[in-house]
Amino acid sequence: MKSPLKHARFLFCILLFTTLVVPSAVMAEEIKIGVLFPLTGGAAAAGRELRSGAELALDIANNAMPDINMTMAKNAGIKSMGGAKITLIFKDHEGNPTLGADLAKKLILDDKVHGLMGAYHSSVTKAVSAVAEQYGIPLINDSSTSPELTKQGYKWFWRTTPHDVYFTRDLFEFLKGMTEGKVKGLAAVPKKDITNLASACEKTEWGAAVSELIEKFGKDYGFEVKKSILYAAKATDLSSEVRSLIAVKPDAMLFASYTSDAILMMKTLKDQKAAPKLLWGQNAGFEVPEFVSTLGDTTIGSLTRTVFIPKIAQVKPIAAKVNAMYKTKTGNDLSGASARSFTGLQAWVHVLEKAGSAKPADIQKAANAIEIPGDELVVPWQGIKFATSGDDIGQNTLGMGLIGQYQKAADGKIDLEIVYPFNVATANMIYPFPKF
C-alpha cells in the first residue's frame, strides 16, 4: 500500500500532467458567444430573421448532420476542443448604441462570454466594437455595412458581410449595365433616361454612410444626384421628405431605411403618386418578409440589394438545402439578414475549430488565418478571408452582393428575382417601375 505522502504526490503528478499536456480549452464543455440583435423596436422584423439564422447555424454546428456539405456539420461541436458545444446568449439592443455597449459589457463581465456577434445596426456595432476592443474580446460582425467599421484599425473586430462600398458600387455597375444592354430581357436604356437620381437615407451611422457613397459613385459614374435627404430614423411621417424627392423629378429614387421606415416610405410614395423609373432600397427594411406581407403588390418592380435571394438555390445546392431547413423552421425563405447571421456563426465555428482554444489570443490568431471556401457558404461569395493589412482590416475580402427585383409569379406569390450580377439573372427585369 502506498503511503499517504506517496499517494498525494502521485495525485499531484497526475493533476500537473493534465494541466500541462491537455489544454484547458479541450476540456471545455461550453463555448459562450454573446449575440446582440434588435429584437424589439423598428428593426425587430430583421432581428427575428437574424436570430433564426444564427440558431439554425448553431443547430447544425452542435449536431452531426453528414448530409450537409459543410465542415461545421460533420463534427457535432468543436472537434479540436473535445466536441465542445456552442451556446448563444442573445441580447436585445433595441437599435440603441448606448444600450448595445452596456449589454456587451455585461456579456463580457457577467456572462463571461468567449466572444461576441452582431449587431446589425452599424451605429450599435460601432459602440459594441469599442467595448470588445477595450476588453480584448473577439467580435465577428455578420450584418453591419458601414465602411467605417473596418477602418478603425481594431484588432478584435472581423466582418463577414460586404460593406456599403461594395453594395453601392454594385448599384452603379447595374445602372451602367442598363445603358449597355446587359440586363436580362431589357434593351439598352439611353443614359439620359436614368441620369437624375434622388436619395433619402435615415440619419444614422449606416444611412449617412450610404448617402455619401451614393453622392461619390454618382459623380464617378456620371450620374447626377439631384436631391439627397437624411431623415430622422423611426419616423412617423415622411410626407415632406417624399414631396421634396418628387419635386426634383428624379429618374431613380434610392433609399436606406430599416423596416418600419421602409414600409412607411413606400406607403407615402404611393399616396403621393411618385413616378420614378427605378426604385432601389439598400437592403435592410426593403428585404425582410414584412416588407412584402405588409405592402403586397406595391412592392412589385422595386429593387433591393442583398446577399441572398432564394433563387440562388437553383445554382447552389448547399443554399437549397439550408434554405429548405430554414423554411421548415420559420415558414420563410432565408433573407439577406438570416443568411448573413447564419454565415457569421459559421465563421465563428471555423475560427474556434482552427484556434483549438477559447483563449482570446488563440481566437484572434485563428480569425486572421482562416479561409472558408465559397462552396460551403449559402451566400454566393467566393469565400471568407479577412484582411490583415491595409485600411480595411478585418474585412472579408471575398464577399459580393446581389440585386433583386420583386416580381409576381404565375401562382400569385411575390418573389425576389435576381437581376444582378447579370450572369446569374433569373428573370427579365421589369422596367420602368410600375406606377403606384
45 compared with 51, residue with greater pLDDT: 51
Burial 131-145, CB ≥16 within 10 A → b, else e: bbbeeebbbbbbbbb
Question: Model confidence over 244-265: pLDDT tens digits?
Answer: 999 999 999 999 998 999 999 9
- Indicate if the pLDDT at residue 427 is higher than 60: yes
Q: What average pLDDT does this structure show over 276-303?
A: 94
% the chain with pLDDT above 70:
94
Contacts of 428 (CB under 8 A, 6+ apart): 184, 185, 186
C-alpha cell at 130: 469599442
- Indicate if the pLDDT at residue 2 is higher than 50: no
C-alpha cell at 375: 462552396
Check whether the bond before 421 is cis (ω within 30° of 0).
Answer: yes
pLDDT band at 109, cuts 50/70/90?
Answer: very high
Q: What average pLDDT does this structure show over 354-380?
A: 97
Query: Taking all residues of the chain, what is their mean pLDDT, rounded to a whole number?
Result: 92
Question: Model confidence over 173-215: pLDDT tens digits?
Answer: 999 999 999 999 999 999 999 999 999 999 988 999 999 999 9
State the amino acid at position 329 in one-letter form.
K
Pairing of strands 115-118, 139-141: parallel
Alpha-carbon separation of residue 337 from 140, 161, 173, 274, 425 (angstroms): 15, 10, 23, 28, 21
Would you state the pLDDT for residue 278? 97
Q: At what angle do helices 122-135 and 97-109 cross, to 10 degrees?
A: 30
- Indicate if the pLDDT at residue 19 is higher than 60: no
Q: How far apart are CA 436 and CA 431, in angstroms?
A: 14
Q: Which domains does the chain have, with CATH numbers?
A: 24-162+317-384 (3.40.50.2300), 165-306+402-424 (3.40.50.2300)
Q: How far apart are CA 270 and CA 247, in angstroms?
A: 15
Alpha helices in 272-403 (DSSP H): 289-295, 317-330, 336-355, 360-367
- Contact at 8 Å (CB) between 342 and 54? yes
Would you state the pLDDT for residue 29? 75
- Contact at 8 Å (CB) between 118 and 124? yes
Q: How far apart are CA 69 and CA 25, in angstroms?
A: 27
Element (DSSP H or E) covering residue 124: helix 122-135
Q: What average pLDDT does this structure show over 279-287?
A: 91
DSSP codes joined into one string, 127-146: HHHHHHHHHT--EEESS---
Would you state the pLDDT for residue 214? 97
Q: Give the global pTM.
A: 0.84
Angle CA(248)–CA(251)–CA(252) in degrees, nearest 5? Answer: 100
pLDDT band at 284, cuts 50/70/90?
Answer: confident
Give the count of beta carbons closer than 10 Å to the beta carbon of residue 314: 13
Alpha helices in 69-192 (DSSP H): 97-109, 122-135, 164-179
pLDDT band at 22, cuts 50/70/90?
Answer: very low
pLDDT band at 3, cuts 50/70/90?
Answer: low
What is the radius of gyration, based on Cα positions, of the chain? 24
Three-state DSSP class for residue 252: strand
Q: How far apart are CA 362 and CA 352, in angstroms?
A: 9
Pairing of strands 278-281, 252-256: parallel
Q: What average pLDDT does this structure show over 4-12?
A: 47
Give the count of beta carbons closer than 10 Å to the beta carbon of residue 355: 25
Q: How far apart are CA 92 and CA 80, in angstroms?
A: 31
Element (DSSP H or E) covering residue 416: strand 414-420
